[in-house]
Amino acid sequence: MPNSYDLVIVGAGALGTFHAYFALQRGLKVLLLEKDARPMEATVRNFGQIIPSGMAEGEWFDYARTSLDTYRAIQAEYDISIRPTGSLYVASSSLEMQVLEEKHARYQAVGYASRVLTAAQCRQRLPPLRADYCAGGLLFEQEVTAEPDQLIHRLLAYLVARWALDYRPATPVREVTANGAGCTVVDARGQCYTAAQVLVCSGRNFNRLFPDLFAQSDLQLCKLQMLATYPLPQVQLPGSVLTGLSIRRYHAFHACPSFAQLRADDVAPALRQWGIHLLFKQALDGSIIIGDTHEYADAGAADTLDFNNAEALNQLMLDEARRIIDLPDWRIQRTWNGYYAQSKSQELFQASPDPRIHIVTGIGGKGMTTACGYAQHNLARLDLQRHALVANT
């Protein structure tokens, strides 16, 4: 049966593609359908920071660690743009440094490697760091970065070549249904595919397939503005660089005893209003990626988010960036935005309109770090192997 599969996956972002990876490893016959000729949503517009260190302890931290191991394992076999460049959180005050030291002690207890750096050691690693900003830092040498504009395309190429994935780009799905015989997926040209199970990992576009479920969901959309300088190969800024604002934002630090002493009004009101938290990553061409802002709208009112980038927000980010690092050239080569869906009440949105159709989206701002580990767990949960055997009998 040429168009019959154990599993059809809709959407070739991080969630869909990693579900495909683990399903193929289980020996399933998998079809991955992507609406665009090349995926171009959140999975290609992000920083490419793969940072378990940002996750609160618990299952999502564990998914992040699984992801880290898996990224490394795939990279050892096929170049998917993973670089072992580490992550450094830079504290801007003695109180932020105290939070980092508390987190370090906690990581020692749970066996996740980290190293406290003095301000001088931070500046040795990141020469552009300003002395009047840096009070010290916490380094995670084992963490990695990816090139988001390359990662998913190379991963898809690897899955096709190594695991015989049936991948069909430029194939928008218009309908997913189930009946006694299994699931039917119809694409925009009217082509039908049948499967024992279907996974819908369509990111912010999930309203197109299940509008009623979408309308009842607690999903919201987040718009992020991003900037990149011209290539600055003379600048040395390796790995993921996270700042005092990240220490305040990331859940990893919220349980630290001193976290409660960090005062919200120490942060400029405009930065708080636009959810600005400064991160840096140097891309392979030497350009420095700077971000990001966070603007939210309920998923049903997503069109209230302006599709333009606000220059005033770019300037706010750049002003804050100049307090943190010195660059020889601050001209911006390109700006873009990205959107991710996130559940307001859960780490991820899941729904099964039929026992064989599973929607998985709304992973929020942590998808490059956690989608891989989560996908491995989710496939075990769905027990796809059993369903596949049932479908084949």
Chain positions contacting ligand FAD, by CB under 6 A: 10-16, 33-36, 39, 41-43, 45-49, 172-173, 201-205, 208-209, 224, 226, 292, 338-340, 361, 363-369, 371
CB of 240 to ligand FAD, least distance (A): 7
We find the least distance from the C-beta atom of residue 349 to ligand FAD, in angstroms, to be 10
Of 152 and 232, the one with the shorter C-beta distance to ligand FAD is: 152
Query: What's the min distance (Å) between Cβ of 219 and ligand FAD?
Result: 11
Q: Which is nearer to ligand FAD, 137 or 364 (CB)?
A: 364
Q: Say if CB 90 and CB 133 are below 8 A apart.
A: yes
Q: Which is nearer to ligand FAD, 41 or 320 (CB)?
A: 41
CA dist 82 and 63 (Å) reads: 18
And the tokens for 362? 């709304």
- Backbone phi and psi for residue 271, each to the nearest 5 degrees, phi listed first: -65, -40
Task: For the CB of residue 257, give the shortest distance to ligand FAD in the complex, in Å.
Answer: 27
Backbone angles phi, psi at 276, to 5 degrees: -80, 130
d(CA 201, CA 182): 19
Give the residue with the Cβ less far from ligand FAD, 135 or 368: 368
Of 27 and 211, which CB lies nearer to ligand FAD in the complex structure?
A: 211
The residue behind tokens 């906690």 is 106
Alpha carbons 18 and 66: distance in angstroms, whole number: 12
Short-list 165, 307, 105, CA closest to 223: 307
For every residue of 310-348, DSSP letters joined together read PHHHHHHHHHHHHHHB--S---EEEEEEEEEEEESSSSS
DSSP-assigned beta bridge partners for residue 179: 182
357-361 vs 192-200, strand pairing mode = parallel
Q: What minimum distance in Å lies between the beta carbon of 373 and ligand FAD? A: 11
With respect to ligand FAD, which residue has the nearer C-beta, 123 or 248?
248
Task: Compute the C-alpha angle 103/72/203, nearest 5°.
Answer: 80
Q: How many Cα atoms within 13 Å fall on the side-chain side of residue 13?
A: 30
CB of 21 to ligand FAD, least distance (A): 13
Alpha-carbon torsion, ordered 351, 356, 357, 363, to 10 deg:
50
What's the closest the beta carbon of residue 208 comes to ligand FAD, in angstroms? 5
Cβ count near 5 (within 10 Å): 26
Is 34 or 295 the residue whose CB approaches ligand FAD more closely? 34
In the complex with ligand FAD, the residue whose CB is nearer, 4 or 309, is 309
Q: Rank residues 265 and 303 by Cβ distance to ligand FAD and give the closer one.
A: 303
Give the residues across from 140 on adjacent strands: 87
Amino acid at 382: L
Grouping H, G, I as helix, E, B as strand and the rest as coil, residue 279 is: strand
> Minimal distance in Å, beta carbon 129 to ligand FAD?
20
Shortest Å distance, C-beta 40 to ligand FAD? 7
